[in-house]
Every structure is written in C-alpha cells, then in structure tokens.
C-alpha cells in the first residue's frame, strides 16, 4: 500500500489521495496539489455564498475563510442549507461553520464576523483568490483594484430572484494552457490526391497550447461610456441583465439592502425610479429595461443560487489549480 504520493517535495497523504481520487483522475495530481495549497476568502454567506462554499470545500482548497457580519434571519436561513433551523439571531458565517466543515474535514474552514468594509488593505493580501457576494459596488471596485496590484484573483457574484451574475478579474495578462487534439500532417505515401496532404486531427493524442487573455477591471466593466461610438455599436449585443445589475447595485447603495418581498410595492416603485435615473445618466432609453423586470428580482431563489454558485465555484477552482499563473 502506498502511504503517500510525493512529487517536488509536496506530499499528498493516502487519505487525501482517496478523497480526491476522482478529481486527480480528471485534472491530474499536480493540479490537485496546487488547489490544496490555495487559500480563498468568501464574503457573504447567504444562498449564493453557501453554494460557493460547498463547491470549494468539496474540491479541496487548503483554506476557506467565511466572512459575514450579518445575523441569521428567517429569510437568510431559508436561502441556504448550511444554517441550522434554530440559528436565528446568530452570526451567519458562524452558524454555517459546522456543516461547512463536515463537508470535508481536510479543508481548514475559518470564520470572520467582521464587516468586510472594516478590513484594511493587508487583510485581502493573505489570499490567493477573493470571492465577493452581497457587497456594494464601491466595495467591490475597491477590493478588485487592491487585489489587482498583487495579482490576487477576484470574483464577484449575486443572485436576485430569477437573475444572477458572476464577474472575474484575472489580470491584464492572464496566462493559461488549453488542451487540444494533436494535428498531424497527412501522408503522401498511400494517396497522391489533395486529401492526403491535409492536416489531420488525431483524437488519441493531445497537445498543450499556451494562451494569454486580458481581463478588464470591475470598474471598467461597470462604468462604460455609452456615448462612445464603439460602445453604441455593441449596445444591441448587450444583455438587458447588464443594466438590471446596474439598477440593483444602485438600489443596494441607496438603501443599504436588496429589494425585499415584504415591501414589494414600495421597492418596485423605487426600482423603476432608479431604472429611469440610471439609464438617463448613461444617455440610454428606459425601454432597454421593461417595467416587468421588477417582478423577477426579489429574494434569492435556491435553484438560481445552485446554478450561479456552481459556475462561480468552478471558475475559482480552475484558477487555483491552473498550471500557469502570474507571479505575485
């Protein structure tokens, strides 16, 4: 029996090898070693945050810090599965800790009950990746800019009713590799026709191709100048959800909360007013976001959280175990 798997002075125990056997077969031992050496900060422990936490813990990151200063309410308890039914009034992160840790005892799960707004810059530099949920626009922009200076990967996401989004900033020059089928030259020996000279794909062999992609900052993504001709030309290709996100972030900034079902009538009118103001400021017509949007953006819906949380968690895992990364 092999007690450990060792390479480059990095050891995976027999227990870890058994726990992550399926993942190691999927993306390789080296990738799993990089993943289990990564520390992630997750801000916000509502429905989406719980899904992201579950996915990161099961994947096997080294450490996950759950940061949330809010208390458990009936609505927040119904929105996620990590909080026990008798936890009303407790801190949301603290109430989620026990069930989160049980998902994978080999992951170091910590809780921080401070408000993320109170954290100094150095706090964020402890992590390899930061995931922000339920945060204000100003805070997300600030953290994104801070982390970009240290090449720390930043992810943002939220769920509003039937709508959800995720954003990632992996840097201006993010290097990665992509596995592609190997292309081989055709042989002229058996055939003299043009078909024999064509390059062919060998499905049994693959090759790793190095690539570079550039990511814009969150500030750039949210502060597009729609009077610019280039931006105008892309307007028809821009989903209405982009403008919905702008409205919902403005609502969160103005009210310090998200739209609430128990104040549906009042919040609906406010959302419509904010819609008009936001789009007017952008120099755009309010018709880009029909009035019906207010019926579908209240509360966090569990199925939407599961889908968005699955994508968001997957993207964080990919970055943590990627074979090529920029130096910090």
What average pLDDT score do residues 81-106 get?
A: 96
Average pLDDT in the chain: 88
Percentage of the chain lying above the pLDDT 70 cut? 88
User: Minimum mean pLDDT among 101-115, 171-185, 214-228: which range?
Assistant: 171-185
Q: Which residue has the tokens 């990590």?
A: 82
Q: Quick one: pLDDT band at residue 181, thresholds 50, 70, 90?
A: confident
Sign of the CA dihedral with 270 first, then 275, 276, and 281 last: positive
Which of 11-20, 29-38, 60-69, 225-234 tops mean pLDDT? 60-69
Whether 6 has a pLDDT exceeding 90, the answer reads no
Region 47-70: mean pLDDT is 97
DSSP string, 270-308: HHHHHHHHHHHHTT--GGGS-GGGGGG-SSB-HHHHHHH
Question: 223: how many CB neighbours lie within 10 A of its CB?
Answer: 12
Question: Is residue 1 over pLDDT 50?
Answer: no
Q: Average pLDDT for residues 247-260, to the nearest whole number? A: 96
Contact (CB, 8 A) for 57 and 64: yes
Give tens-digit pLDDT for 260-311.
Answer: 999 999 999 999 999 999 999 999 999 999 999 999 999 999 999 999 999 9
**What does the pLDDT look like over 122-169, one tens digit per residue?**
999 999 999 999 999 999 999 999 999 999 999 999 999 999 999 999
Q: Is the pLDDT of residue 192 over 70?
A: no
- Confidence check: pLDDT of 189 > 90: no
- The full DSSP string for 63-125 is EEEEE--PBP-HHHHHH-SSS-TT-TTSBHHHHHHHHHHHH-TTSEEEEE-S-GGG--HHHHT
Can you list the domains of the chain with their CATH numbers?
A: 14-170+303-321 (3.40.50.720), 174-213 (no CATH), 218-297 (no CATH)
Tell me: pLDDT of 113 over 70: yes
| Helix or strand (DSSP H, E) at 201 | strand 200-213
In this model, does residue 193 exceed pLDDT 70? no
The pLDDT tens digits of the residues spanning 7-50 come to: 334 678 888 888 888 888 888 888 899 999 999 999 999 999 99
Q: Is pLDDT of 178 > 80?
A: no
* Tokens representing residue 281 in the block: 């400021």
Could you give the CA distance from residue 68 to residue 135 in angstroms, rounded to a whole number?
A: 10
Q: What is the pLDDT of residues 194-222, one digit of tens each?
A: 555 556 666 667 777 787 778 899 999 99
Residue 188 has a pLDDT of: 53
């Amino acid at each position: 029996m092999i007690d450990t798997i060792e390479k480059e002075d990095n050891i995976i125990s027999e227990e870890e090898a058994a726990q992550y056997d399926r993942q190691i077969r999927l993306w390789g031992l080296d990738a799993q070693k990089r993943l289990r050496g990564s520390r992630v900060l997750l801000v916000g422990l509502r429905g989406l945050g719980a899904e992201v936490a579950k996915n990161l813990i099961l994947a096997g990151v080294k450490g996950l810090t759950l940061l949330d200063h809010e208390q458990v309410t009936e609505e927040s308890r119904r929105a996620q599965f990590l909080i026990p039914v008798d936890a009303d009034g407790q801190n949301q992160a603290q109430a989620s800790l026990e069930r989160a840790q049980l998902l994978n005892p080999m992951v170091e799960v910590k809780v921080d009950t401070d408000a993320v707004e109170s954290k100094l810059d150095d706090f964020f530099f402890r992590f390899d990746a930061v995931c922000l949920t339920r945060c204000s626009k100003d805070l997300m922009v600030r953290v994104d800019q801070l982390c970009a200076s240290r090449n720390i990967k930043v992810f943002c996401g939220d769920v509003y009713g039937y709508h959800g989004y995720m954003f990632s900033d992996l840097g201006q020059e993010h290097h990665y590799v992509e596995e592609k089928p190997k292309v081989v030259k055709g042989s002229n020996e058996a055939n003299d026709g043009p078909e024999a000279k064509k390059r062919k794909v060998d499905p049994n062999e693959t090759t790793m191709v190095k690539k570079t992609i550039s990511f814009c900052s969150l500030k750039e993504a949210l502060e597009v100048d729609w009077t610019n001709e280039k931006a105008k030309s892309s307007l028809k290709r821009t989903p209405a959800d982009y403008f919905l996100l702008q409205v919902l972030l403005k609502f969160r900034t103005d009210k310090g909360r998200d739209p609430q079902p128990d104040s549906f009538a009042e919040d609906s009118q406010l959302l419509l007013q904010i819609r008009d103001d936001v789009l007017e400021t952008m120099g755009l017509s309010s018709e880009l976001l029909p009035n019906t949007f207010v019926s579908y953006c209240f509360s966090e819906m569990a199925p939407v959280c599961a889908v968005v949380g699955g994508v968001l968690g997957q993207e964080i895992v990919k970055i943590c175990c990627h074979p090529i990364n920029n130096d910090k």
